[in-house]
């Protein structure tokens, strides 16, 4: 945690906040400030700043906050990912938030196990907890939005045209026809990544018909949580 993310409800009076739970534990056991020291903080969907420790008890910390800087700019990308296995979901959400992705679309394919859609990890509060961890790592405050697409055909036919309008579209899919991943694109784009076992031919064809360019990294097959940060780092310098 490189920044403590605050919410409006943390404020008890004026610019003073009181924190308990996970954030208090991190401050007390990892940062270990003395009264009068400052801690880097950010307000959810607002600015970054510094908080001066006023008191540090056994279960809570009181601080006075001053906000003075804007969060880092987001990546200009809509990220589409086939719903990963539940054990990988939180890790991928943290990575995406840390990298600056603000629009995350989880979609269904024929090789996504139906049971994945029943996971309690898809609850908004569960996903948000791990998005916060990613934001705190990157010193960012703007919460990403997660969209769930349980049906593949309506996504491609009805929703994708408006979501991807005016943007270059890339499908990360290992195959002989793949082009190299674009480098330092730094322009609005859509990136789609399939499931661990890959997309079936019909699904790849539908993406291509929707204007997606099939790209890859090399001849090695990477796990989704490995491919995601590499692709984003290459695409957005």
Q: What is the pLDDT of residue 175?
A: 75
Closest CA to 196 of 232, 229, 222, 228: 222
Mean pLDDT of 111-126: 95
One-character DSSP codes across 147-205: EEE--HHHIIIIIHHHHTTTSEEEEE--STTPEEPP-S--S-EEEEE--TT---HHHHH
Is the CB of residue 107 less than 8 Å from the CB of residue 131? no
In the chain, the percentage of residues whose pLDDT exceeds 70 is 99
- Token pair recorded at residue 26: 């991190």
Residues 54 and 119 in one domain: no
Tell me if the pTM is above 0.75. Answer: yes
The last residue of a domain, from among 49, 69, 89: 69
- Token pair recorded at residue 86: 């539940």
Residues 189 and 119 in one domain: yes
Residues 125 and 95 in one domain: yes
One-character DSSP codes across 204-222: HHHHHHTTEEEEESSSSPP
**Dist CA 207 CA 177 (whole Å):** 14
| 164-209 pLDDT tens trace | 999 999 999 877 677 888 888 878 999 999 998 889 999 999 999 9
Q: Tell which wins on pLDDT, 79 or 237.
A: 79
Residues 65 and 83 in one domain: no
Q: How many CA atoms lie within 13 A of 129 on its CB side?
A: 10
Residues 147 and 30 in one domain: no
The winner for highest mean pLDDT among 122-131, 191-200, 218-227 is 122-131
Residues 15 and 128 in one domain: no
pLDDT of 69 higher than 80: yes
Residues 100 and 201 in one domain: yes
Using alpha carbons only, what angle is made at residue 173 by residues 167 and 178, rounded to the nearest 5 degrees? 85
pLDDT of 117 higher than 80: yes
Range of the domain at 12: 4-69
Is the CB of residue 155 less than 8 Å from the CB of residue 174? no
β-pairing, 189-193 vs 77-82, is: parallel
73-77, 214-218, 228-232: which range is least confident on average?
A: 214-218
Report the domain count for the chain.
Answer: 2
Label residue 226 by pLDDT band (50, 70, 90).
Answer: confident
Residues 57 and 100 in one domain: no
**Can you give the CATH number for the domain in which 140 is found?**
3.40.1280.10
Q: Tell which wins on pLDDT, 122 or 224.
A: 122
Q: What is the pLDDT of residue 182?
A: 85
The winner for highest mean pLDDT among 17-26, 182-191, 226-235 is 17-26
pLDDT of 105 higher than 80: yes
Closest CA to 170 of 91, 231, 104: 231
Q: What is the pLDDT of residue 196?
A: 83
**Can you give the CATH number for the domain in which 51 is found?**
2.40.240.20
pLDDT of 129 higher than 80: yes
In the chain, the percentage of residues whose pLDDT exceeds 90 is 84
């Amino acid at each position: 945690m490189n920044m403590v993310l605050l919410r409006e409800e943390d404020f008890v009076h004026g610019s003073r906040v009181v924190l308990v739970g996970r954030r208090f534990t991190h401050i007390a056991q990892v940062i270990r400030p003395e009264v009068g020291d400052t801690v880097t903080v950010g307000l959810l969907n607002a600015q970054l700043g510094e908080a001066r420790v006023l008191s540090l008890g056994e279960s809570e910390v009181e601080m006075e906050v001053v906000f003075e800087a804007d969060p880092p700019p987001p990546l200009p990308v809509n990220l589409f990912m086939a719903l990963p296995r539940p054990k990988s979901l939180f890790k991928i959400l943290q990575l995406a938030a840390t990298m600056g992705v603000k629009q995350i679309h989880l979609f269904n394919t024929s090789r996504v196990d139906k049971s994945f859609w029943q996971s309690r990890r898809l609850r908004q509060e569960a996903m948000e907890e791990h998005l916060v961890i990613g934001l705190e790592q990157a010193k960012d405050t703007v919460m990403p939005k997660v969209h769930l697409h349980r049906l593949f055909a309506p996504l491609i036919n009805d929703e994708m045209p408006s979501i991807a309008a005016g943007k270059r579209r890339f499908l990360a899919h290992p195959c002989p026809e793949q082009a190299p991943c674009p480098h330092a694109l730094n322009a609005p784009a859509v990136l789609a990544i399939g499931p661990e076992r890959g997309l079936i031919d019909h699904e790849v064809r539908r993406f291509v018909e929707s204007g997606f360019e099939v790209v890859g990294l090399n001849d090695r097959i990477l796990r989704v949580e490995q491919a995601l940060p590499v692709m984003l780092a290459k695409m957005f310098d």
